[in-house]
């Protein structure tokens, strides 16, 4: 297996994909690809700086560490929702696409079977599949919700680069078998802040004393597992320049 390399990790997942029939699923996948590819174009990310794995209802992207994370984050906050809106406005309500999005970073290795391996990737996928992110999308009138890892928040968001407001993010913690995974969700905290408390409404919910003056803290019971492998589309390899084959 190749040595792990540091990459920015970007994940997209379609809400309620399994409830759609085959024709709808095929259409939603094309829409997802259009949105993801347009996001990278708007962020100025060349195809040679990306590696994609297709998971059916989701897409995973490993991005070269030289790519500007603040620029990518700003694009995810502004251009991606606009791209999604422009797609959905032409569709019937039953056919519209809603997305969970995660921006993370860490070390990932690609094995001889083109599988992706790394605990940082595991954490990103667990966040993508976590109850706080799912609940935030369910409660939102927007077509997407964005979560970022603790590393991305501390390294980028909290410094408030142009177009990014740290106060628009709130803290959540997803409990897993390996321990808690801290992340930050964009948008106002909603009912997901009380999820997984194991008691009636209002019982066991976080308090201002335990959280500090300006954070919301969520504990989610149970294990949230994601997929760490994937079939890589195209012929891009880490550290090697060049273009991939057609992915459509």
- Quote the CA–CA distance of 220 and 218 in Å, as a whole number: 6
Q: Is pLDDT at 206 greater than 70 in this prediction?
A: no
Name the more confident of 150 and 200: 150
Q: Look up residue 242 and give its two tokens.
A: 């060049």
Of 45-54, 119-128, 200-209, minimum mean pLDDT range: 200-209
For the chain, the first-to-last Cα distance in angstroms comes to: 28
Burial class of residue 94 (count of CB atoms within 10 Å of its CB; 0-12, 13-18, 19+): exposed
State pLDDT tens for residues 130-187: 999 999 999 988 899 999 999 999 999 999 999 999 999 999 988 766 778 889 999 9
pTM of the predicted model, to two decimals? 0.75
> Nearest to residue 131, comparing CAs of 174, 188, 101, 99?
174
Domains of the chain (ranges; CATH) run 5-166 (3.30.70.1230)
């Amino acid at each position: 297996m190749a040595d792990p390399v540091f990459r920015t990790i970007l994940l997209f997942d379609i809400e309620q994909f399994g409830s759609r029939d085959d024709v709808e699923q095929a259409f939603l996948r094309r829409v997802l690809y259009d949105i993801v590819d347009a996001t990278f174009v708007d962020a100025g990310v060349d195809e040679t700086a990306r590696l994609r794995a297709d998971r059916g209802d989701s897409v995973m992207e490993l991005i070269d560490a030289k790519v500007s994370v603040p620029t990518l984050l700003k694009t995810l906050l502004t251009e991606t929702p606009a791209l999604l809106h422009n797609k959905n406005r032409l569709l019937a309500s039953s056919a519209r696409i809603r997305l969970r999005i995660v921006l993370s970073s860490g070390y990932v290795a690609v094995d001889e079977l083109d599988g992706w391996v790394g605990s940082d990737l595991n954490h990103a996928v667990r966040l993508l599949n976590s109850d706080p992110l799912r609940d935030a999308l369910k409660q939102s009138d927007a077509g997407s919700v964005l979560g970022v890892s603790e590393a991305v928040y501390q390294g980028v968001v909290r410094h408030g680069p142009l177009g990014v407001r740290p106060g628009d993010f709130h803290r959540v913690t997803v409990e897993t078998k390996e321990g808690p995974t801290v992340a930050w969700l964009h948008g106002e905290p909603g009912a997901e802040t009380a999820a997984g408390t194991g008691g009636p409404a209002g019982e066991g919910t976080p308090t201002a004393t335990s959280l500090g003056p300006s954070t919301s803290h969520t504990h989610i019971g149970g294990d949230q597992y994601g997929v760490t492998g994937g079939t890589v589309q195209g012929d891009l390899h880490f550290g090697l320049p060049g273009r991939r084959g057609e992915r459509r």
